[in-house]
Amino acid sequence: MPDTETAVPPVGSEAPDFTLPAGDGSQVHLADLRGKTVLLYFYPKDDTPGCTTEACSFRDAWDELQRRGVVVLGVSRDDVKSHQKFASKYSLPFPLLADLGGEMTQRYGVWVERSMYGKTYMSTARTSFLILPDGTIGHVWEQVKPDGHAAEVLEWLDARQQS
Protein backbone atom coordinates (compact mmCIF):
# COMPACT_ATOMS: atom_id res chain seq x y z
CA MET A 1 0.00 0.00 0.00
CA PRO A 2 1.39 3.42 -0.88
CA ASP A 3 2.17 5.79 1.97
CA THR A 4 -0.13 8.54 0.77
CA GLU A 5 -2.94 10.41 2.43
CA THR A 6 -6.46 10.42 1.05
CA ALA A 7 -9.38 12.60 2.09
CA VAL A 8 -11.89 11.60 4.74
CA PRO A 9 -15.21 10.84 3.00
CA PRO A 10 -17.62 13.72 3.67
CA VAL A 11 -20.90 13.56 5.56
CA GLY A 12 -23.67 12.55 3.16
CA SER A 13 -21.41 10.43 0.95
CA GLU A 14 -21.69 6.66 0.57
CA ALA A 15 -19.51 4.90 3.16
CA PRO A 16 -16.75 2.92 1.43
CA ASP A 17 -17.69 -0.76 1.51
CA PHE A 18 -15.35 -3.35 3.00
CA THR A 19 -15.01 -6.95 4.07
CA LEU A 20 -12.49 -7.55 6.86
CA PRO A 21 -11.67 -10.35 9.30
CA ALA A 22 -12.78 -9.82 12.88
CA GLY A 23 -11.04 -10.94 16.05
CA ASP A 24 -13.69 -13.64 16.53
CA GLY A 25 -12.75 -15.26 13.20
CA SER A 26 -15.79 -13.99 11.28
CA GLN A 27 -15.76 -11.77 8.20
CA VAL A 28 -17.55 -8.43 8.53
CA HIS A 29 -19.00 -6.96 5.35
CA LEU A 30 -20.39 -3.43 5.62
CA ALA A 31 -23.05 -4.12 2.97
CA ASP A 32 -24.50 -6.83 5.26
CA LEU A 33 -25.18 -4.13 7.88
CA ARG A 34 -27.48 -2.03 5.66
CA GLY A 35 -30.52 -0.97 7.65
CA LYS A 36 -28.46 -0.54 10.83
CA THR A 37 -26.59 2.38 12.32
CA VAL A 38 -22.86 1.58 12.42
CA LEU A 39 -20.20 3.30 14.49
CA LEU A 40 -16.94 2.58 12.70
CA TYR A 41 -13.99 3.76 14.74
CA PHE A 42 -10.37 3.69 13.62
CA TYR A 43 -7.61 3.52 16.20
CA PRO A 44 -3.81 3.18 15.95
CA LYS A 45 -2.87 0.10 18.00
CA ASP A 46 -4.30 -2.59 20.25
CA ASP A 47 -3.54 -2.43 23.99
CA THR A 48 -1.96 1.02 24.03
CA PRO A 49 -3.15 3.58 26.61
CA GLY A 50 -5.32 5.81 24.38
CA CYS A 51 -6.73 2.94 22.34
CA THR A 52 -7.57 1.01 25.50
CA THR A 53 -9.33 4.05 26.99
CA GLU A 54 -11.38 4.50 23.82
CA ALA A 55 -12.31 0.82 23.47
CA CYS A 56 -13.28 0.57 27.14
CA SER A 57 -15.44 3.69 26.84
CA PHE A 58 -17.45 1.94 24.11
CA ARG A 59 -17.57 -1.20 26.25
CA ASP A 60 -18.85 0.79 29.22
CA ALA A 61 -21.50 2.51 27.05
CA TRP A 62 -22.45 -0.78 25.39
CA ASP A 63 -25.96 -1.02 26.88
CA GLU A 64 -26.79 2.54 25.80
CA LEU A 65 -25.40 1.96 22.31
CA GLN A 66 -27.40 -1.26 22.03
CA ARG A 67 -30.60 0.53 23.11
CA ARG A 68 -30.06 2.90 20.20
CA GLY A 69 -29.42 -0.01 17.82
CA VAL A 70 -25.82 0.93 17.09
CA VAL A 71 -23.37 -1.66 15.71
CA VAL A 72 -19.86 -0.82 16.96
CA LEU A 73 -16.84 -1.86 14.89
CA GLY A 74 -13.25 -1.01 15.83
CA VAL A 75 -10.58 -1.02 13.09
CA SER A 76 -6.80 -1.04 13.30
CA ARG A 77 -3.96 -2.49 11.29
CA ASP A 78 -3.23 -5.07 13.99
CA ASP A 79 -3.78 -8.74 13.13
CA VAL A 80 -6.66 -10.97 14.24
CA LYS A 81 -4.60 -12.60 16.99
CA SER A 82 -3.76 -9.20 18.49
CA HIS A 83 -7.45 -8.24 18.34
CA GLN A 84 -8.45 -11.48 20.08
CA LYS A 85 -6.01 -10.83 22.90
CA PHE A 86 -7.04 -7.15 23.26
CA ALA A 87 -10.79 -7.91 23.20
CA SER A 88 -10.41 -10.75 25.70
CA LYS A 89 -8.21 -8.76 28.09
CA TYR A 90 -10.76 -5.91 28.29
CA SER A 91 -14.01 -7.87 27.70
CA LEU A 92 -14.87 -5.90 24.58
CA PRO A 93 -18.36 -6.91 23.36
CA PHE A 94 -17.93 -5.67 19.78
CA PRO A 95 -15.79 -6.84 16.85
CA LEU A 96 -12.32 -5.50 16.16
CA LEU A 97 -11.47 -5.65 12.46
CA ALA A 98 -8.01 -6.36 11.08
CA ASP A 99 -7.01 -4.04 8.23
CA LEU A 100 -3.58 -5.62 7.79
CA GLY A 101 -2.75 -4.13 4.41
CA GLY A 102 -4.23 -0.78 5.36
CA GLU A 103 -6.50 -0.53 2.31
CA MET A 104 -9.59 0.34 4.34
CA THR A 105 -7.70 2.77 6.55
CA GLN A 106 -6.55 4.55 3.42
CA ARG A 107 -10.00 4.48 1.73
CA TYR A 108 -11.48 6.18 4.78
CA GLY A 109 -8.74 8.84 4.68
CA VAL A 110 -7.35 8.09 8.13
CA TRP A 111 -3.84 6.95 7.12
CA VAL A 112 -1.88 10.11 7.80
CA GLU A 113 1.64 11.40 8.09
CA ARG A 114 2.80 12.29 11.57
CA SER A 115 6.08 13.51 12.96
CA MET A 116 7.81 12.99 16.27
CA TYR A 117 11.28 14.11 17.28
CA GLY A 118 11.96 15.25 13.73
CA LYS A 119 11.06 11.90 12.15
CA THR A 120 8.01 11.47 9.95
CA TYR A 121 5.99 8.28 9.76
CA MET A 122 2.56 7.08 8.68
CA SER A 123 -0.08 6.21 11.27
CA THR A 124 -3.83 5.79 11.73
CA ALA A 125 -5.60 8.97 12.80
CA ARG A 126 -8.09 8.30 15.59
CA THR A 127 -11.34 8.94 13.69
CA SER A 128 -14.94 7.69 14.00
CA PHE A 129 -17.67 7.48 11.37
CA LEU A 130 -21.38 7.17 12.10
CA ILE A 131 -22.83 5.29 9.13
CA LEU A 132 -26.58 5.66 8.76
CA PRO A 133 -28.94 2.77 7.89
CA ASP A 134 -28.98 3.88 4.21
CA GLY A 135 -25.19 3.39 4.01
CA THR A 136 -24.26 7.09 4.00
CA ILE A 137 -21.95 8.82 6.43
CA GLY A 138 -24.01 10.73 8.99
CA HIS A 139 -21.20 12.19 11.06
CA VAL A 140 -17.41 12.15 11.29
CA TRP A 141 -15.40 12.72 14.46
CA GLU A 142 -11.79 13.60 13.64
CA GLN A 143 -8.89 13.98 16.06
CA VAL A 144 -10.88 12.01 18.61
CA LYS A 145 -9.93 12.31 22.26
CA PRO A 146 -10.21 8.74 23.64
CA ASP A 147 -11.61 9.72 27.02
CA GLY A 148 -15.30 10.57 26.71
CA HIS A 149 -15.68 9.70 23.04
CA ALA A 150 -18.49 7.19 23.66
CA ALA A 151 -20.45 9.90 25.53
CA GLU A 152 -19.85 12.26 22.61
CA VAL A 153 -21.32 9.68 20.20
CA LEU A 154 -24.35 9.11 22.45
CA GLU A 155 -24.95 12.88 22.72
CA TRP A 156 -24.86 13.20 18.93
CA LEU A 157 -27.30 10.32 18.52
CA ASP A 158 -29.68 11.83 21.08
CA ALA A 159 -29.52 15.28 19.46
CA ARG A 160 -30.20 13.75 16.03
CA GLN A 161 -33.18 11.81 17.34
CA GLN A 162 -34.67 14.98 18.88
CA SER A 163 -34.38 16.99 15.66
CB 58 within 8 A of CB 87: no
Torsion of CA 155, 38, 98, 95, to 10 degrees: 80
Catalytic-residue membership of 51: yes
Task: Supply the DSSP string of 46-113, one letter for each residue.
Answer: TTSHHHHHHHHHHHHTHHHHHHTTEEEEEEESS-HHHHHHHHHHHT--S-EEE-TT-HHHHHTT-EEE
Q: Is 54 exposed, middle or buried (0-12, 13-18, 19+ CB in 10 A)?
A: buried
Which one of the listed residues 22, 38, 51, 87 is annotated catalytic? Answer: 51
Active-site residues: which are they? 51
